[in-house]
Amino acid sequence: MYAIVETGGKQFRVSKGDVIRVEKLAVAEGDSIALDQVMMLQSEAGTVIGNPYIDGASVNARVVENGKSKKVIIYKYKAKKNYRKKQGHRQPFTELEIVEISTAGVQRASEDKDQAEKPSLKSMKKAELIDYARANGIDVDEKATNAVLIETIEAAMQ
C-alpha cells in the first residue's frame, strides 16, 4: 500500500516505514504529525484518487530530525567589472518516518458505481456525439455543428 501526499508544495510517494525529507515543519523531534493532504491511495482493494484530496485519508508520521541540508554556493560574477559576490545557503528540512497510512472513512471507487457520471459532451467529436444521441434515442441533424448537437442532446436529456 502506498499514498501520494502533498506537503511544503511538493508531492511525495510514501509507504509504511519510508523516511522522507520535507520542507521544514514547526514540529519538535520525536513528535508525530498527520499529513491529511492525501492525493492518491493505492492498496490491494484498489486505487482511490482525490479531487484534489481524499476526504478521510491521512498519513501518520514521526519526526526523526530537524536540520539543515548541505550548503549550496551561489557565486555571481560579471566579466571586466570587478564584480564578484559569493553567498551560501543551507535549506532547512524535517525528516519524517511514515508510521501508518490511515484509510478510515474513505469511499472506494467500486462503492460509487451506482452513481454513474454522464460523459463530457464537449470533449466528444462529431461522430461520437451522433452515436451517443442515437444510443439514447435522440433525433439529431447530422449536418449540424458540434455546438448545436450538444445543445440538442442536453435539451433532450432534461
Element (H, E) at 147: helix 146-157
Strand positions, DSSP E, 16-152: 19-23, 32-35, 38-43, 46-49, 58-68, 72-78, 83-89, 92-102
Residue 153 within a domain = yes
Residue 118 within a domain = no
- Whether the pLDDT of residue 69 is over 80: the answer is yes
Same domain, 21 and 76: yes
Q: What mean pLDDT do residues 81-107 have?
A: 93
147: containing domain: 126-157
pLDDT in tens, 11-34: 999 999 999 999 999 999 999 999
Q: What mean pLDDT do residues 116-140 have?
A: 84
Same domain, 37 and 107: yes
Same domain, 107 and 132: no
Task: Identify the pLDDT of residue 57.
Answer: 93
State the total domains in the chain. 2
Residue 117 within a domain = no
C-alpha triplet 34, 35, 41: angle, nearest 5°: 120
d(C-alpha 57, C-alpha 4), whole Å = 11
Residue 120 within a domain = no
| Average model confidence (pLDDT) across the chain | 90
pTM score, two decimals?
Answer: 0.65
Same domain, 130 and 103: no
Q: What mean pLDDT do residues 51-69 have?
A: 95
Same domain, 85 and 50: yes
Q: What mean pLDDT do residues 116-145 have?
A: 85
Task: Identify the pLDDT of residue 108.
Answer: 61
pLDDT in tens, 111-121: 444 445 667 88
Same domain, 93 and 140: no
d(C-alpha 18, C-alpha 9), whole Å = 19
